[in-house]
A and B are shown apart, each in its own frame.
Chain A
Amino acid sequence: GDQQSPKPEYHIVSVEFTRVETPFLIGIWILFASIAKIGFHMTPKLNKIFPESCLLIAVGVIVGLLLFQASSVHISPLTPDTFFLYMLPPIILDAGYFMPNRLFFDHLWTILLFAVLGTIFNTMSIGVSLWLLGKSGMFGYETPILDMLLFSALISAVDPVAVLAVFEEIHVNEILYIVVFGESLLNDAVTVVLYHMFEAYSEMGPSRIIYTDVLTGLASFFVVAIGGTVIGVVWGFITGFVTRFTHQVRVIEPIFIFVMAYLAYLSAEIFHMSGILAITFCGITMKNYVEANISHKSHTTVKYTMKMLSSSSETIIFMFLGVATVNNAHNWNTWFVVMTIVFCSVYRVLGVIVLSALANQFRLHKLDKVEKFVMSYGGLRGAVAFALVLLIDPKHVPLQPMFVTTTIAVIYFTVFIQGITIKPLVKILNVKRAEKRKPTMNERIHERIMDHTMAGIEDIVGKHGNHHVRDKFKRFDNKFIRPYLVRDYCGAEPKILETYSKLAMKDALDYIRRNASTI
């Protein structure tokens, strides 16, 4: 009678949201971000004044406010895990895969100087300066030196996502671009090490640190950097090798490239190596061999998928930054925020001046005043800093909420103030702009002749520079690597053949277009 449960009815329509909640919300986020992006491109006036990243953050803030009003639940979609595991890898892979290798390696020493020494200098100087100010009681809190250093480690790294987002729009000349962008990619190793080091130290407590801990930190830097690079290069070679055998199953070619690069990132992260370095070098390495193996269509697919993934990740990151601003419990400390911004800017300029003076001693192309200015001004901070600050455990570091607020403030400062003003500044300062184009047949061949000539002259002078090293590597590559990784290995100088076939294809397409009726 009464205890009997109601007879189960068969509903024509039933609502079950919980089952699809997560994928549905992700879908909505991506849709919303993409629509916002279309919106900016349809309003040219807005697009001219603001870089896209600013507009996306603004949209994020609006969405965050709506969510904040609509529900008391704090949803923070930008967790460190989603950021580091899903949103960062596509952007970095895109950067590594389409890296202009020649340019990158030509300026490698300058890039390394800025990425390693520059980041260490920034971290130490910002951390110590904040700590000294803290001792004077300016912030109203006790500021232990280790907590300050932990904070400065995450705030002083130039962010690859923000730099790319802003620099892609302003088209500065290639040297300036590669130095700033290379720095932002390679400084990850330093950031990872310093961050983990100071995190461990502050958990240990300052009294228990002995000098061996400092030495271990130094050693772990080399392990993290070199380990990450090696893992990336090895995965890159394996990818090249696998694509050697895919000519029967063309449709899965792009999958190998994405999955194996992603595995390179993850396998580096497993060992706390630099995942960013791993995936960058995986892209740099695989490109040389993969492009010779995969079909033209697969290549186009890879290119567009990569661009799409990275641009949507970037879009989502900036929007989430905006959303997260509203959602987190803030602890605003005016002096701390102001002084962090001041120190970040001042030490960035100082570091660039000193390090470029050092680099100019060894460079053929000297970095001039304007370039130094753009380099120091282009040192944008971004989502990597934000994700790292969220990772700090408030139990060990009670100042964490203040760090979060300050990090957001610094990101807003660099992305908005510096991001908006850099375009007009580049125009006023008359910075040499880049011109993007494909090389002609003549340029390809004559420039190779120049390379060989210079390698020969370096050998005669007996002074081994870039040309000599490149020549050696090319010879090694052609003899021992290419024959095993490339299916239809066709001699040295694949670039000349590539340029030729590209130009021939373009001619053919033009011909078809002109003479459409005859075919």
Chain B
Amino acid sequence: MVTPNQIERLYSRFTSLDRGDCGTLSREDFLRIPELAINPLGERIVNAFFEESGNDRVNFLQFMQVLARFRPIKKNSPNRLNSRQQKLRFAFKMYDLDNDDLISKDELLAILHMMVGANISEEQLTSIAERTIVEADENGDGMISFEEFCKALERTDVEQKMSIRFLS
């Protein structure tokens, strides 16, 4: 369980991000965090918070609900929000812009562009993206579905990789 102490710490973080003192966060509030602004995925991570809220402000509960996905998994207390499935879902969302539950070649290319940077030729990136899709694609539709995504990461320790100790 989240201790009251941690909720308090997160709440104080929340209020320090909330420059307008209106009890909710806007996109700009998030992007004002300097490191997040230069993170290649910064904008997409922020989007995940607004998807949770459904409008253009995020309240504290919604803020917590997104962060809950990154709590470490405890063996004896199963939790809906921080399961392996939910963690993978969050990573999948980083690619899937149009919410069709499929990663297309273009979506993968866009991500590779953001991560790898400009020094790589377009053909090389395309062939990397193609290879990645062929490797994971099982039904031959040229895209990676969420099931195929999970399958490709079967041997990855997602529970460890996508958890923050601070949130335990």
Contact surface of A with B, Cβ cutoff 8 Å: 362-365, 435, 440-443, 445-463, 465, 468, 471-472, 475, 489-493, 496-497, 500, 503-504
Contact of B135 among A441, A462, A490 (CB under 8 A): A441
Closest A-B pairs by Cβ, 7 of them: A491-B119, A491-B117, A442-B152, A456-B45, A463-B166, A459-B35, A441-B132
Interface hub of B120, B128, B144, B166 (most chain A Cβ within 10 A)? B128
Determine the chain A residues whose CB is within 8 A of the CB of B116 once the complex forms. Answer: 491-493, 496-497
Contact of A456 among B42, B95, B115, B156 (CB under 8 A): B42
Q: In the assembly, what is the distance between CA of A210 and CA of B116, in Å?
A: 58
Other A-B pairs, 12, CB within 8 Å; known A435-B155, A441-B132: A364-B165, A365-B160, A442-B144, A442-B149, A443-B153, A445-B111, A445-B112, A447-B161, A460-B30, A471-B35, A492-B117, A497-B128
The main secondary structure of chain B at its interface with chain A is helix
Contact of A442 among B112, B153, B162 (CB under 8 A): B153
Determine the chain A residues whose CB is within 8 A of the CB of B81 once the complex forms. Answer: none
Least distance between A446 CB and chain B CB atoms (Å):
6
Q: In the assembly, what is the distance between CA of A454 and CA of B39, in Å?
A: 10
Interface residues in B125-142 (C-beta closer than 8 Å to A) = 127-128, 131-132, 135-136
Q: Is the CB of B160 within 8 A of A449?
A: no
Q: In the assembly, what is the distance between CA of A458 and CA of B168, in Å?
A: 14
Determine the chain B residues whose CB is within 8 A of the CB of A461 once the complex forms. Answer: 10, 13, 67, 164, 166-167
Determine the chain A residues whose CB is within 8 A of the CB of B162 once the complex forms. Answer: 450, 453-454
Q: Is the CB of B155 within 8 A of A443?
A: yes
Determine the chain A residues whose CB is within 8 A of the CB of B16 once the complex forms. Answer: 462
Q: Is the CB of A460 within 8 A of B45?
A: yes
Q: Is the CB of B161 within 8 A of A460?
A: no
Q: Is the CB of A362 within 8 A of B165?
A: yes
Q: Is the CB of B91 within 8 A of A449?
A: yes
Contact of B40 among A452, A459, A500 (CB under 8 A): A452
Interface hub of A452, A463, A496 (most chain B Cβ within 10 A)? A452
Contact of A459 among B33, B136, B165 (CB under 8 A): B33
Least distance between A333 CB and chain B CB atoms (Å):
49
Q: Knowing A458-B164, A461-B67, say if A491 contacts B118 (CB, 8 Å).
A: yes
Residue of A nearest to B36 (CB): A459
Least distance between B8 CB and chain A CB atoms (Å):
13
**B163: CB under 8 A from chain A?**
yes
Least distance between A200 CB and chain B CB atoms (Å):
42
Least distance between B93 CB and chain A CB atoms (Å):
9
Least distance between B156 CB and chain A CB atoms (Å):
6
What are 24 A-B pairs at a CB distance below 8 A? A364-B160, A364-B168, A441-B128, A441-B135, A442-B132, A443-B152, A449-B94, A450-B158, A452-B40, A453-B90, A455-B35, A455-B39, A457-B45, A463-B164, A463-B166, A471-B35, A490-B119, A490-B120, A493-B117, A496-B112, A496-B116, A497-B116, A497-B120, A500-B131
Determine the chain B residues whose CB is within 8 A of the CB of A443 once the complex forms. Answer: 152-153, 155-156
Q: Is the CB of B136 within 8 A of A442?
A: yes
Q: In the assembly, what is the distance between CA of A454 and CA of B72, in Å?
A: 13
Q: Knowing A452-B41, A457-B164, say if A447 contacts B118 (CB, 8 Å).
A: no
Determine the chain B residues whose CB is within 8 A of the CB of A458 once the complex forms. Answer: 164
Q: In the assembly, what is the distance between CA of A456 and CA of B152, in Å?
A: 23
Interface residues in B4-44 (C-beta closer than 8 Å to A) = 10, 13, 16-17, 30, 33, 35-36, 38-42
Q: In the assembly, what is the distance between CA of A497 and CA of B38, in Å?
A: 22
Determine the chain B residues whose CB is within 8 A of the CB of A435 once the complex forms. Answer: 155
Least distance between A511 CB and chain B CB atoms (Å):
14
**B70: CB under 8 A from chain A?**
yes
Least distance between A396 CB and chain B CB atoms (Å):
49
Determine the chain B residues whose CB is within 8 A of the CB of A472 once the complex forms. Answer: 35
Q: Is the CB of B165 within 8 A of A363?
A: yes
Determine the chain A residues whose CB is within 8 A of the CB of B91 once the complex forms. Answer: 446, 449-450, 453
Determine the chain B residues whose CB is within 8 A of the CB of A447 once the complex forms. Answer: 153, 156, 161
Determine the chain A residues whose CB is within 8 A of the CB of B38 once the complex forms. Answer: 475
Question: Digit string of B32-66 for contact with A (CB within 8 Å is 1, else 0)?
Answer: 01011011111001000000000000000000000
Q: Knowing A456-B45, A493-B115, say if A446 contacts B70 (CB, 8 Å).
A: no
Q: In the assembly, what is the distance between CA of A457 and CA of B46, in Å?
A: 9
Q: In the assembly, what is the distance between CA of A232 and CA of B13, in Å?
A: 40
Least distance between B32 CB and chain A CB atoms (Å):
11
Determine the chain A residues whose CB is within 8 A of the CB of B132 once the complex forms. Answer: 441-442, 445
Q: Knowing A364-B160, A442-B152, say if A503 contacts B131 (CB, 8 Å).
A: yes
Residue of B nearest to A463 (CB): B166
Q: In the assembly, what is the distance between CA of A156 and CA of B161, in Å?
A: 35
Least distance between B79 CB and chain A CB atoms (Å):
16
Q: Knowing A441-B128, A443-B153, A445-B132, say if A457 contacts B67 (CB, 8 Å).
A: yes
